[in-house]
Amino acid sequence: MNVYRISALSDNYIFLLHDPDSQIAAVVDPAEPQPVIQKLQELGAKLVAIFNTHHHGDHVGGNRDLLHCFPEAIVYGGAEDRGRIPGQSVFLKDGDRVKFGDRWADVLFVPGHTRAHIAYYFPPIEVDAPGELFCGDTLFSGGCGRLFEGTPAQMVNSLSKIRALPDNTRVWCGHEYTLNNLKFAVTIDRENADLRSRFAEVQIARSQHEATIPAWLGVEKQTNPFLRWDQPGVRKAMGDRDPISTFAALRKQKDIL
């Protein structure tokens, strides 16, 4: 399974999964249709599935036009997003599995950003190969999504599920927010040398217009304060609160910037 990153709108990413043996493709969170159609034509592939993580327009905006071009494609989304995702016909819950080509993905129910948010995790099929996590707006590189429909406790539980995945997991998140997220992170986790080093690398990468996605989950665990709510440096910066209160204070502080 090859994964292609497609830029869309101002800072969105769409991900196209391609099985070169069967020439089938799936798309994750198509913000708009045209760049997806263009990539499918370039590959000579047929779209068979749309994997949506949540209902926001910048993640489902291309569904209807893609279904017009590929009416047999199946639209997947969270069970609690019923009626909110255009064309959805499969309603997924935590622990379900979905198939693409010869790969299976585990479905994680990760509410917080929205009440129905899900993520798709494709475990590695070979030793030392990476897993692939498509997490929408739950986990960002260096950050996490705003809490539009969920609570801090829900988001901590959701991020805990993601944090439990192997370090050797590529994180394919929905937006290019890394630089701004790390600008905030270094003001919180001040003694984190790994974070400072990563921030410097990302500054260089973005100055050269390089994408920072996918990110490695192992790096996120070391440098993303929204995965480090229980670490001493982050807790101290937030007033030595309990884990949920630490996360809530961290998210609130990020929201006002």
Annotated active-site positions, please? 54, 56, 58-59, 113, 137, 175
> For helices 243-255 and 152-163, what crossing angle results, to 10°?
100
Q: Is 59 annotated as a binding residue?
A: yes
Phi, psi torsion values for 256, nearest 5 degrees: -85, -5
Q: Is 56 annotated as a binding residue?
A: yes
Q: Is 175 annotated as a binding residue?
A: yes
- Residue 69 neighbours by CB distance under 10 Å: 12
Rounded to whole angstroms, the Cα distance separating 178 from 15 reads 17
Q: Is 54 annotated as a binding residue?
A: yes
Dihedral-angle region of residue 248 (phi above 0 means left; psi in -120 to 50 means alpha; beta otherwise): alpha
Q: Is 18 annotated as a binding residue?
A: no
Binding residues for Zn(2+): 54, 56, 58-59, 113, 137, 175
Binding residues: 54, 56, 58-59, 113, 137, 175
